Amino acid sequence: MMGLAQSCAAAVDGVLTIKKEAGWTSHDVVAKVRHLLGGVKVGHAGTLDPAATGVLPVLIGRGTRIAEYLVEWDKEYRAVLRLGETTDTQDATGTVLARHTTDLVTPEAIHEVVGRFRGPIEQVPPMYSAVKVGGVPLYKSARAGKTIERDARTIVIHTLEVEAIQERDVTLRVVCSKGTYVRTLCADMGEALGVGGHMLELERRRVGPLTIDHALTVDEVVTRHALGRLGDDVLSLDRALDQLGVAVVDEQTADRVRHGAPVPAAKILRWERAADGERGLHAPVRIHDTDGRLVAIGKCSDNSGDALKVEKVLIDQGV
């Protein structure tokens, strides 16, 4: 019993990397983990559709406070594009709208079209998505048979590689910015090839530093919890935010930060791995005390007397 209690205590603050299986919604996974941990606050960063599989970051306890920073992470996917069929949802769960022969589509043509979609591109969010127009999610309008005008968004496709071509199915490796709809990418590539297409399969391989190789299925989470070992798999808030720079402050300043007070420039003892260039002016920064504990997240202040404005306190007052 002591091991179980220790596991619960160790698992209440941080990020758990779940390997979501097909059929589970992201909400299902969160509800299962919340029930397992006895009602501890649980959330997730980056929804996966029920048919998709792979990495789902599950946020536990104070981990839910850092969701807005984690959604900025880039993501890596393995997707299968099926050419010759368009669907209303742009994936295999939808109704087929049109079919075309793919006999004349060559591997060379596929590689050429794929090359057009690398880098910054404009993408129109699909109708079957949670994007809101006029306060109404697009999927609700789609289910009512309505098509809503929506603006294109700029996304970045960092990497787009063809891993395999098997008849009309093209396996792709995609590394992309937040806000990218891989099924829309597949549909757009099919359209560019003149035969249409949809996303047949999707596996998320990585979200920021969280990889599928270190992810646990829901069943594995249940087993690890029963053995009292789940805490070993929870990434601390500080490690989850490892890509952010660090400002180290003295104990007196740390105590003020716990109450939300800004950090004067003179009170910063040192910077560690601070982002440089223009990104450093706008990027969030971890605020550490002299013991190396994560106290809060801050951003550069507009007040010339302060270096950092506290955005999020991550340690309880008086700790």
Catalytic residue list: 49
Token output for 260: 């939300």
Residue written as tokens 């306890």? 61
Distance CA 195, CA 125 (A): 21
What end-to-end distance do the CA atoms of the chain give, in Å?
A: 27
CB distance 295 to 256 below 8 Å: no
Distance CA 138, CA 129 (A): 6
Distance CA 106, CA 148 (A): 35
CB distance 234 to 14 below 8 Å: yes
Give the DSSP letter of residue 125.
Answer: P
- What DSSP line would sit under 60-85, residue for residue? EGGGGGGHHHHTTS-EEEEEEEEETE
Token output for 192: 């560019």
Distance CA 36, CA 23 (A): 20
